[in-house]
């Protein structure tokens, strides 16, 4: 049932969310909560179809990023920090294969966006694992 505060969304909106936002979730189980919220935006919304499509998109990203089948348990770090570290490590491995490369070329190589690479790069810079030299990032050994 659509409420006054929720926008009227279409299939194209749901497909965009499933394909582009679903893969960025830390774990696909949260898709059920998102599906419940989206159901309020359109009475014809198909939860099962959305969850199936978003889970498939998440699994594709997980295989590409080398996720384990379970979330690692580390009480010292939050789940978001662990996820950020894993994604940054994937970027670092790509940089080691392609040293002295730009964000744009890394994004193409990793099949992701430049914004995603930039976020990962900031994480690596904070940890002191890469440095910026004349608009090119280099791995610190």
Q: Which sequence spans correspond to the domains of the chain? A: 11-65, 79-139
At 92-140, the pLDDT tens digits run: 888 888 777 777 888 888 788 888 888 788 777 777 778 777 767 778 7
List, as one string, the DSSP characters of 36-92.
Answer: HHHHTT-TT--HHHHHHHHHHHHHHHHHHHT--SSPPP-TTS-HHHHHHHHHHHHHH
- The interaxial angle of helices 79-97 and 114-126, nearest 10 deg, is 100
Note the CATH number of domain 79-139. 1.10.10.10
Q: What is the pTM of this model?
A: 0.44
At 24-80, the pLDDT tens digits run: 777 777 888 888 888 888 888 998 899 888 888 887 777 776 654 433 334 444 556
Largest CA distance in the chain: 56
pLDDT at 74: 41
pLDDT at 4: 59
- The interaxial angle of helices 79-97 and 47-65, nearest 10 deg, is 50
**Does 8 score more than 70 pLDDT?**
yes
- The interaxial angle of helices 114-126 and 103-110, nearest 10 deg, is 110
At 73-86, the pLDDT tens digits run: 344 445 566 676 77
Residue written as token pair 């940089």: 95
pLDDT at 110: 78
Three-class secondary structure of residue 12 per DSSP: helix
Strands 136-139 and 130-133: antiparallel
């Amino acid at each position: 049932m659509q409420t006054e505060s929720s926008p009227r969304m279409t299939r194209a909106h749901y497909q965009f969310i499933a394909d582009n936002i679903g893969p960025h979730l830390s774990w696909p189980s949260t898709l059920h909560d998102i599906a419940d919220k989206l159901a309020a935006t359109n009475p014809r919304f198909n939860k099962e179809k959305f969850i199936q499509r978003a889970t498939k998109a998440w699994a594709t990203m997980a295989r590409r990023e080398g996720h384990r089948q379970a979330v690692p348990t580390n009480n010292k770090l939050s789940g978001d920090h662990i996820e950020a570290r894993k994604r940054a490590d994937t970027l670092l491995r790509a940089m080691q294969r392609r040293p002295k490369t730009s964000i744009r070329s890394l994004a193409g190589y990793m099949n992701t966006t430049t914004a995603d690479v930039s976020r990962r790069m900031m994480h690596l810079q904070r940890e002191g694992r890469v440095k910026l030299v004349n608009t090119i990032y280099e791995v610190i050994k």
